[in-house]
Amino acid sequence: MPQDVPQATLLATITGTDRPGVTAAVVGALAGRGLEVLDVEQHVVRGHLTLAVLVTAGADAAADAAALREAAAPFGLEVRSETSTAADALPVSPRSHVAVLAAPLRPEQLAEVAGAVARAGASIDAIRRLATATPEHPVTCLELDVRGAETAALRRDLAAVAAATGVDVAVSPAGLVRHGRRLVVLDVDSTLIQDEVIELIAAHAGPEAQHRVAEVTERAMRGELDFAESLHERVAALAGLDERVLADVRAAVRLTPGAEVLATVLQRLGFVMALVSGGFAEVVEPLAASLGIARVRANRLEVVDGRLTGRVSGPVVDRAAKAAALREFAAAEDLPLERTVAVGDGANDLDMIAAAGLGVAFNAKPLVREQADTSLTTPYLDNVLHLLGISREEADEVRRPAAAVVLPAGAQDDGGAAAVVLRPLTREDLPLLGRWLDEPRVARWWPDAHTPADLEADYGPSIDGTDPTVLQLALTASGRPFGFVQSYRYDDEPESRAELAALVPVPVGALGLDYLIGEPDLQGRGLGAALVAESAARALAAHPGAGEVLVSVALGNRASWRALEKAGFVRAAEGGMTPDNPLDPRDHVVYRLRRPATPGGMER
């Protein structure tokens, strides 16, 4: 056909109650007629079907339309058709994704957004649901595919709509930039967590220190002090405080709703997460470790003879340093800045938000909302997922826990947890183990000295078989070493038995486990749960007389107790135990996994 002759097309729109086989029957009616499929759109809302089929028009378009009506009739569907000789190809124009979030989302809000899109000269190609409000998470999110307006201009226009209607709107460019790995950097105080850490510390220093901290904070908010000045003045009010109160502060920190969901989903998808905080590493680093986050930048409190000096050690992590950290982490991960996301709430986050490919103001001050690419005003941090095009349903799929039974060796469970392979630890593995133990996030929960001599003294007897503790190296299914586990009988560990017995009965023959995930980039990918399940199964198989496995972890070590729960362990007790790290709180939780009562399951 000559190129200057417009291609005739037939557009058929089929509506009615959805039933299995509708699409196959309707499209099949056009088979063998020499037609070409140009486009198909299908949506089902509460059982109501809308199916649009665009094909090249044949020699007898009326007969083609009649065939469609005949195929749809047994299903009780209505068919509308029209032919056209206009060019079907849409002109190349900018495309954007527009996420609309509210709790609840009202028709007038959506209408205002759609009106702003139209006034910008753009059209909405499609709308899909990313989240439906539930009693536990009352946020609805829709994503609009928009064509015909520049992303930056559309973002500016919709920001005004968002401010006027109380809806959150995020505009991001379509195309390849939407896909693939990203770096997501979070502020901590009032973003990742609900608290301001310096206020929690000041509460332990007495009313005078609390008043001083609050006064300096107020002056900083009025613009009388920059961040570095305010930090130094507030930390000075803490001078003389016993460093042991930091353990109580760590235990008191409250994660923002949705924080664990966000961390789990992003890291399971291969994204990199980082925490950049004007707060304190003594609190932020253990929190990051509990969420599987390896990259951290925060201020550090100076401690002399077990007491805070009222000074910070090293350069202050201020507004400029936060942006520098984002750039540094992106370069280390070989990611361009357009593939970075920054989330924060205060003026100290503005440079970081401006530097990122997508800057998000989370429950932020007005100044931050005005300058960020988008703003979230709902108190759920996992809504950041929707800004990246991830639906709640998809997030739930990624978060699906490991099977609540012990996995067979080398297996992969239906929930998507990674398979693991265990082999005996050898002396050749000790340097690798030492490197893992050097990680600050690991040392928080496993603080024993680990020089080569220490490692040999601790683990050499077990490697030689003269100590009953079983040491194993954990590898991914592809053979990459990622972790370490040791299993033992409490009968052989009288001190551990006595500690545990104060909280829960310890039967004769009961088994214990200790483990770590050593590789930072493999945190948060289901390996912990799979490792625990596999090692528990092997320990029970090696000790037929053992009836259960008991594991105690610090209550603040969320990563460990989440892994245990996903592996089928249940909480047996909570209470005070001597922590491995003397700076940590005594609060512990004990988990139990009993030997299967029947084949195919674990008794809880």
pLDDT in tens, 337-386: 999 999 999 889 999 999 999 999 999 888 888 899 999 998 899 999 99
The CATH number of 184-390 is 3.40.50.1000
What is the reported pLDDT for 90?
52
What is the reported pLDDT for 582?
60
**Which part of the chain has CATH 3.40.630.30?**
400-594
* Residue 562 in tokens: 């989440």
pTM above 0.75, yes or no: no
What is the reported pLDDT for 340?
95
What is the reported pLDDT for 432?
85
- Fold designation for 95-177: Alpha-Beta Plaits (3.30.70)
Neighbour-count burial of 407, counting CB atoms closer than 10 A to its CB (0-12 exposed, 13-18 middle, 19+ buried)? buried
Q: How far is CA 13 from CA 87, 142, 404, in A?
A: 19, 23, 46
**Which part of the chain has CATH 3.40.50.1000?**
184-390
The CATH number of 9-84 is 3.30.70.260
How does pLDDT run across 20-47, given as a tens digit for each residue? 888 888 888 888 888 888 888 888 887 8
C-alpha 143/C-alpha 154 separation (Å) is: 14
Domain 400-594 - what CATH class? Answer: alpha beta
**Which part of the chain has CATH 3.30.70.260?**
9-84, 95-177
> Which DSSP letter does residue 388 get?
T
Low-confidence ranges of the chain (pLDDT < 70): 1-6, 86-92, 221-223, 398-419, 440-448, 478, 521, 523-525, 579-585, 597-604
What is the reported pLDDT for 587?
80
Q: Which helix (H) or strand (E) holds 11?
A: strand 9-17
Beta bridge partners of 481: 475
What is the reported pLDDT for 444?
59
What is the reported pLDDT for 524?
64
What is the reported pLDDT for 414?
33
**Active-site residue set:** 187, 189
What is the reported pLDDT for 496?
87
C-alpha 30/C-alpha 189 separation (Å) is: 60
C-alpha 248/C-alpha 282 separation (Å) is: 11
C-alpha 573/C-alpha 451 separation (Å) is: 35
